[in-house]
Structure formats: structure tokens, C-alpha cells
Structure 1
Amino acid sequence: MKTTGNTVFISGGSAGIGLAIAKKLNAAGNKIIINGRNEERLQKALTELKDAVAIQGDLSVEADRIRIAEDLKTNHADVNIIINNAGAAFGYLLSETTNAHEKALIEMNTNYFAIIHFTELMIPHLLEKEESAVVNVSSIAVYGSHKFLPTYGATKAALHSYTTALRQTYEEQKNLQIYEVYPPLVNTEFSAEIGGAAGIEPSEVADELLIGLETNLFDIPVGDTKIYANAIGEAMSKLAHAQELI
């Protein structure tokens, strides 16, 4: 799809991957609307963007999701791309906690249920546009869990499953495209407690997303995630070939 002249809403856009994507798309000639929970961080992020707008709110809260969706449709009617980037993750060991279910509930609500609802609120608006897109930021964790992130991976696997179904649902609607970005460990404040300093820079995720949009690459693996994606692609190709021989 086109990568300039869009109006893009980015949740979790005040820092980390979200801000890196905002900067990249802003520099490419797109109008940017960032969202985050902290007003001070949003205002700071705006100083790094040209003619951008911020909408404060917590998308994990239903009332905020509804308010933000209405704000976009009413006051920013030209929005044609939404990037669901905001997320939650807890690093811990199951053997050292008694509230894993509470942590999992927060992660699943933020990383899965909230995205489904917000996307549902915005889809009718996006379908009215000549060209539009939903971009879900998932994770390398789609391919497997880790003992230090015991419940996070399941939420991203769920998001991946939903994104696949969403893409299949609207595959005949040529004006709406569904993308999924799979970052590996990224050096952000969000990932600091799980060794994020050893990860790639957020700008690499933004670069790969722009390429994906330009080339209509709907599944966008980044960094080490490409190893998994390539292996699965080769396996599926071999399986298809074997079935042809039967």
C-alpha cells in the first residue's frame, strides 16, 4: 500500500517501538496520531514529531477504547491506518509467584481482548477509506514461550491467531489490508527487566514495517524472528510438495 499521505494512529506511541514507528512514518510524509497513558510522555514524544497529535488514554480500559475510537472518527476522520502496538508483559518465574493468574489477566486483556475490541470499533470506518490497514504488533514469542515470560507468549500467540482470521475475513476487501509485525527482543524501557539492552534497536522494527507496507508483505518478521519464519516457510513448502506427490 502507499506509505505516504496516510493518517496513522499508533497505540503505545510515546516511546519504544511505537515512537520509532511514528518517527519513521512521519518522516515518510504521513500524519501521525500517537496514543499513550502518560500525558507528559506523550507531550515529550510530540517534540520529536512534525505536526503530530496525541490522544491520551489507556486502551486496556473499555471506556477509553470507546472514547478514543470516537475521537478518531469524529476529529481525525482521515485516519486510515491503525497500529495496535501497546502491550503488557511481566517477567517472572512461575515458581516464585502466587499471582500468575493476575499477571496473565492483565497481559491477555491488553495484548488480545483490547486489540480485538478497538479494531472492531474502527473497522467500519477503515472500510470506508480508499486504502486502509490494520497493523498488529505481535512478537517472536508467537513461536514459543520462555520461563521468564511464562504467560506473555500465549497472549501473542492468541493475537497472531486473531490477526490471521481477521486477514482471511477481509481478504476480498481490497481496500483493507491486515499486517502483523513480529519483533524479537528490542532494546526499550518496556523490555528492560527481561534483558532488553541486548536486543535490537526499535528503529529496525520501524524500518521493516515500512518495507512491509511498501511491498504488501503482510507477515513481517524482524531480526531473529526471520529464522523461525523461514524455517516454517520451508517446512510448509516441503509439506505442500509431498502432498502433490501423493
Structure 2
Amino acid sequence: MNITDNTILITGGGSGIGLEIAKALSPANKIIIVGRTKEKLEAAAKDLENVFTIQADITNEADIDRLYEEVKTTFGGINILINNAGNAYVYNLANGGDIYNKAVAEFTTNYFAPIRMTDKFLPLLKQQNEAAIVNVSSIVGLVPSSHLPTYSDSKAALHSHTRLLRYELAKETNVKVFELMPPLVATDFSAEIGGLENGIPASQVANDLVKALQENIYEIHVGDTESVHNSFFAATEGAFATFNN
């Protein structure tokens, strides 16, 4: 698809992957970055061209309604929605307390918020000659992590939903659906699990997304996501065969 002259909304756009995507796609596009903290958004956008900020909590229905009205009134709509905001708790199922509430918080941000955002903005997207939804999931949606158990669950759910959404929208609309699946990334978000030391640059994730948008690659396996997934599948297939024997 065309990656110029778009109006693009990015949730969680004030830092990390979201901010790097904003940098990669500006100034050739109009970018709206969304996040909970106004000061953080303004600091992120101050040196970028064609990047605008709207404070909103995408886990709050009233904030999404307000966001929608502001985008529609101020920008006339969007044609690319990037659901990037995330929430994660690091723990182990065997010894982590309060698992239910952690799972609810993660699913609220990582799964239900993208669904609500998509549902709200889909009518605007359908009005465009060319439009796209990008859901940012993770390698753990394919290969679950013992350190991020319910975060992995939420990303697996988002992966399943994204595939079905892509299939259904392709039938009757011009809205393309992409899924960005990075491995460990060097951001503050992943610092607790060694991301700053061992993760790939967030700019690499953003650049891979830009290339995939241009080439219409709908499932974007960044870095070693593909090889890790293949190794995991081969190992579990072998274990299943052994179990059945």
C-alpha cells in the first residue's frame, strides 16, 4: 500500500515502538500519537514534523469516544490505525500472586482496547480508498513466555482476532489488516526482562513495518520471530509425537 499522504493514528505513540513508527512514517504522512500522559506525548512530538498529539486512555470507553470525535473533527478521519499500546506483568504462574487481576489488566489494554478502537474507527477507515489496521502483537503470541504468561495469552488472542479480522474485511472492504510481531525489543517497556541489554532496536521494528506496508506483507515476523516460532513448533510437534507413542 501507499505509505505517503496518509493520516495515521498510533496508540502508545509517546515512546518505544510507537514513537519509532511515528518517526519512520513522518514527515511524509500526518501522524497522530495517542497516550495517557500529555507531557510525554508533547515531548515525543516536539522535534518531529507532521506529528500531532491527543491525550487519551484507550482502556476507557469515554476517552475513545472523545478521541474519535476529535480525530473526525480536526483531521477529517484517518486511513491507518496502529494499535500499539501495551501492558505487561512479569511473573511466573507457579509463584505469582494476583494472577487474575494481572490478566484482566493485560487483556484490557492488549486485546479489548484494540477491538474497541477498531470497532470505533472502522466506519472512517471504510470511507477511504485505501486503509489499514495494524495490530502490534508479539513473538509471545506465537511462542508463550514463562515470564509473561498472561501477557502471552493476550497476544495470542490478538493474533487470532487479527487473522479473522483480516479475512472478513478482505471480503467487502479496502481495509487491509496487518500484524506486527516483534521479538524482545530494547525499550523501557521490556527493561524488566532484559530488553535494554538484549533486545533489538525499536527502529528496526518500525522499519520492518514500513517495508511490510509497502509490500503488503500482512504477518510481519520481525528479527528472529520466524526462526523461534519454527523451532518451537518443531519441538512441540516432536513432543506430541513422543507422547502419542
Q: TM-score, normalised by structure 2?
A: 0.91
**Aligned counterparts of 1:72 and 1:231: Cα–Cα separation in 2:** 43
Where does residue 58 of structure 2 map in the other structure? 59
Write out per-residue CA displacement over residues 52-108 of structure 1, whole angstroms, 9 at most, x where no aligned residue: 110001101111112112221222114110100001001112343320111110000
For 2:146, what is the secondary structure of its paired residue? coil
Write out per-residue CA displacement over residues 147-206 of structure 1, whole angstroms, 9 at most, x where no aligned residue: 211211000000011101100111124521000000100000111111111100000000
**Aligned counterparts of 1:216 and 1:80: Cα–Cα separation in 2:** 15
**Aligned counterparts of 1:146 and 1:178: Cα–Cα separation in 2:** 25
Check the 8 A contact 1:221/1:229 in 2, yes or no: no
Where does residue 196 of structure 1 map in the other structure? 195
**Aligned counterparts of 1:73 and 1:39: Cα–Cα separation in 2:** 20
**Aligned counterparts of 1:211 and 1:232: Cα–Cα separation in 2:** 26
- Using the TM superposition, give the Cα deviation of residue 226 of structure 1 relative to its aligned residue in structure 2, in angstroms: 2.2
Q: Does 1:11 align with 2:15?
A: no
5+ unaligned residues in a row in structure 1: which ranges? Answer: 235-246
Where does residue 73 of structure 1 map in the other structure? 72
* 2:203 maps to amino acid: S
Where does residue 95 of structure 2 map in the other structure? 96
Where does residue 214 of structure 2 map in the other structure? 214
The range that moved more, 9-18 or 42-51, is 42-51
Where does residue 106 of structure 2 map in the other structure? 107
Q: TM-score, normalised by structure 1?
A: 0.90
- Using the TM superposition, give the Cα deviation of residue 134 of structure 1 relative to its aligned residue in structure 2, in angstroms: 0.3
**Aligned counterparts of 1:133 and 1:187: Cα–Cα separation in 2:** 26
Aligned length: 233
Check the 8 A contact 1:88/1:106 in 2, yes or no: yes
Give the fraction of aligned pairs with identical amino acids, expressed as a percent: 46
For 2:149, what is the secondary structure of its paired residue? coil
**Aligned counterparts of 1:225 and 1:94: Cα–Cα separation in 2:** 24
Check the 8 A contact 1:163/1:178 in 2, yes or no: yes
For 2:47, what is the secondary structure of its paired residue? coil
Where does residue 227 of structure 1 map in the other structure? 227
Where does residue 120 of structure 2 map in the other structure? 121
Where does residue 240 of structure 1 map in the other structure? none
5+ unaligned residues in a row in structure 2: which ranges? Answer: 235-245
CA-based RMSD of the aligned residues comes to: 1.7
